[in-house]
């Protein structure tokens, strides 16, 4: 016969089994939940890394907002993109560009300028074990904002500007009374100057055909129009504004009293002959002689045609191989670690054919090249050559060059606005 205590132990044995079974289910559920949470954490880490990469890649294309957004998406975590999640979980992103006025480089939102890009990514991570307790997925998010340019570095820059008569012609070669191409070039240069910070950047200006003296009257027209004969002048001056930092105060506002700004605005066109080399030499000499030690030096060369002339007082190669002489002059600058950018403007304007390089006596240059090939070879590389095949605004190109020469992309605080 069982005593009372023994009967109670026997009665409770079934309850222990039930409790143990419940505890086991809870333990398995919690373990599975922990595994699902761990997987979601891993996905979030991958998502953040992909989002950072997308923001940095997109920032390198600023200030081109549309291109920056497209590149950011290409580098994002979505399926088939460059940084697809390794876990094969789904992902979506939203990309926006913005103007962060607090950056050292500055930005003007009212002008539509952008200098930063924000990427927001989301992934719905499906669960396996957590479904037992009714949790079918976890939503993880990531956000990154990157800027470009983010900081300002010192630069010495000489702009070389082709002011030959074709800058006042339509594409078919007839005269344009409004001088649209010249105006576009001046506007582009002034856009570039507004993006420079005079605290860090010194800028000068050279022209072709050259001026015939150092006075304003000799460098602006009217009263003295440039002509092909200027190349042969004993007082020829390609450089008409030396390196200076008084062109803007504060950054973004041009100083009308600056020699550089005045010389940009007073330019008219004249002369039917184009000589690259003398102008590039003048830019290199100014940078070498008056540039600051340890500062990156840059030449930006704009022309709308093939070289076909050289002054009588210049080396024979400038007359017999005007395009090759320009390429060689640029090579000399590159050898001194100068960056050389070239802008080909309406190079194939007449009948859609690129001008052939010619000698001073109008013979085809040997070895032969055309305007496009010459301008490409003058640049420091493919990314330093900008082609504007038809007439139009040059503001975008000058903005891209400004961004490129002091481009730095970095992640920044998302709270900046």
Q: What is the CATH number for 296?
A: 3.40.50.410
Of the residues 91, 117, 147, which one is the last residue of a structural domain?
Answer: 147
Residue 5 domain-assigned (yes or no): no
Q: Label the pairing between strands 137-147 and 410-412.
A: antiparallel
Residue 3 domain-assigned (yes or no): no
Using a pLDDT cut of 70, give the percent of the chain over it. Answer: 90
The pLDDT of residue 28: 59
Residues 55 and 134 in one domain: yes
The pLDDT of residue 278: 97
Residues 198 and 106 in one domain: no
Which of 122-126, 201-205, 223-227, 228-232 shows the lowest mean pLDDT across its residues?
A: 223-227
The pLDDT of residue 211: 93
Higher per-residue pLDDT: 172 or 31: 172
CB atoms within 10 A of CB 197: 19
User: Across the strands, what pairs with 239?
Assistant: 206
3-state secondary structure of 93: strand
User: Across the strands, what pairs with 344?
Assistant: 303, 387
Residues 178 and 82 in one domain: no
Please list, residue by residue across 39-58, b when 16 or more beta carbons sit within 10 angstroms of its beta carbon and e when fewer do: bbebbbebbbebbbbbbbbb
Contact 143, 55 (CB under 8 A): no
The CA dihedral of 372, 373, 379, 380, to the nearest 10 degrees, is 150
**Region 44-62 average pLDDT:** 90
The pLDDT of residue 142: 94
**Residue 71 burial by Cβ neighbours in a 10 Å radius (0-12, 13-18, 19+):** buried
CB proximity list for 212: less than 8 A, separation 6 or greater = 218, 224, 230, 233, 235, 236, 237
**Region 173-186 average pLDDT:** 90
Residue 1 domain-assigned (yes or no): no
Split at pLDDT 50, 70, 90, the class of 11 is low
Split at pLDDT 50, 70, 90, the class of 15 is low
The pLDDT of residue 222: 67
CB atoms within 10 A of CB 115: 23
Of the residues 117, 147, 177, which one is the last residue of a structural domain?
Answer: 147
The pLDDT of residue 62: 86
DSSP conformation class of 365:
P
CA distances from 163 to 81, 276, 372 (A): 46, 12, 18
Residues 129 and 226 in one domain: no
Residues 241 and 327 in one domain: yes
The answer on pLDDT for 108 being more than 60 is: yes
Residues 139 and 210 in one domain: no
The pLDDT of residue 193: 94
Residue 267 domain-assigned (yes or no): yes
Residue 185 domain-assigned (yes or no): yes
Split at pLDDT 50, 70, 90, the class of 417 is low
Split at pLDDT 50, 70, 90, the class of 134 is confident
25: containing domain: 14-147
Residues 97 and 167 in one domain: no
Residue 7 domain-assigned (yes or no): no
Residues 64 and 196 in one domain: no
Residues 224 and 82 in one domain: no
pLDDT in tens, 68-100: 999 999 999 998 888 888 777 789 999 999 999
The answer on pLDDT for 30 being more than 60 is: no
Residues 142 and 30 in one domain: yes
Number of domains in the chain: 2
Average pLDDT, the chain: 87
The answer on pLDDT for 12 being more than 70 is: no
Residues 220 and 319 in one domain: yes
The pLDDT of residue 315: 96
Residue 119 domain-assigned (yes or no): yes
Of the residues 86, 117, 147, which one is the last residue of a structural domain?
Answer: 147
Residues 222 and 351 in one domain: yes
Contact 215, 262 (CB under 8 A): no
Residue carrying the six token digits 């809870």: 26
Contact 206, 283 (CB under 8 A): yes
**Region 357-373 average pLDDT:** 95
**Region 214-223 average pLDDT:** 83
DSSP conformation class of 308:
-
Residue 138 domain-assigned (yes or no): yes
């Amino acid at each position: 016969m069982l005593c009372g205590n023994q009967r109670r132990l026997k009665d409770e044995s079934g309850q222990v089994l039930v409790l143990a079974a419940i505890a086991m289910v809870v333990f398995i559920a919690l373990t599975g939940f922990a595994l699902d949470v761990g997987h979601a954490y891993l996905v979030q880490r991958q998502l953040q890394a992909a989002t950072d990469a997308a923001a940095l890649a997109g920032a390198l294309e600023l200030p081109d907002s549309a291109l920056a957004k497209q590149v950011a998406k290409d580098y994002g975590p979505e399926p088939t993109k460059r940084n697809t999640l390794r876990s094969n979980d789904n992902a979506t992103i939203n990309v926006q560009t913005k103007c962060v006025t607090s950056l050292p480089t500055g930005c003007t939102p009212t002008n539509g300028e952008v200098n930063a890009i924000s990427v927001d990514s989301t992934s719905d991570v499906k669960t396996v074990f957590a479904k037992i307790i009714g949790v079918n997925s976890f939503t993880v998010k990531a956000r990154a904002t990157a800027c470009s340019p983010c900081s300002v570095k010192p630069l010495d820059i000489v702009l070389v500007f082709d002011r030959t008569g074709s800058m006042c012609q339509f594409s078919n070669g007839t005269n344009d009374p409004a001088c649209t191409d010249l105006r576009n070039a001046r506007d582009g240069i002034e856009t570039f100057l507004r993006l420079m910070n005079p605290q860090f950047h010194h800028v000068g200006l050279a022209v072709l055909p050259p001026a015939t003296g150092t006075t304003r009257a000799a460098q602006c027209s009217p009263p003295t129009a440039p002509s092909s004969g200027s190349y042969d002048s004993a007082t020829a001056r390609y450089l008409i504004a030396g390196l200076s930092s008084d062109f803007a105060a504060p950054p973004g506002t041009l100083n009308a009293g600056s020699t550089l700004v005045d010389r940009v605005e007073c330019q008219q066109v004249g002369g039917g002959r184009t000589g690259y080399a003398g102008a590039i030499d003048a830019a290199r000499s100014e940078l070498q002689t008056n540039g600051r030690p340890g500062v990156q030096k840059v030449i930006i060369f704009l022309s709308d045609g093939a070289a076909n002339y050289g002054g009588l007082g210049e080396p024979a190669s400038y007359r017999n191989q005007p395009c090759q002489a320009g390429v060689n002059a640029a090579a000399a600058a590159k050898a001194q670690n100068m960056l050389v950018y070239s802008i080909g403007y309406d190079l194939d304007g007449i009948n859609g054919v690129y001008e052939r390089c010619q000698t001073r006596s109008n013979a085809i240059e040997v070895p032969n090249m055309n305007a496009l090939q010459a301008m490409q070879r003058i640049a420091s590389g493919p990314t330093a050559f900008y082609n504007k095949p038809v007439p139009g605004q040059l503001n975008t190109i000058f903005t891209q060059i400004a961004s490129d020469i002091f481009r730095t992309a970095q992640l920044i605080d998302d709270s900046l606005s």
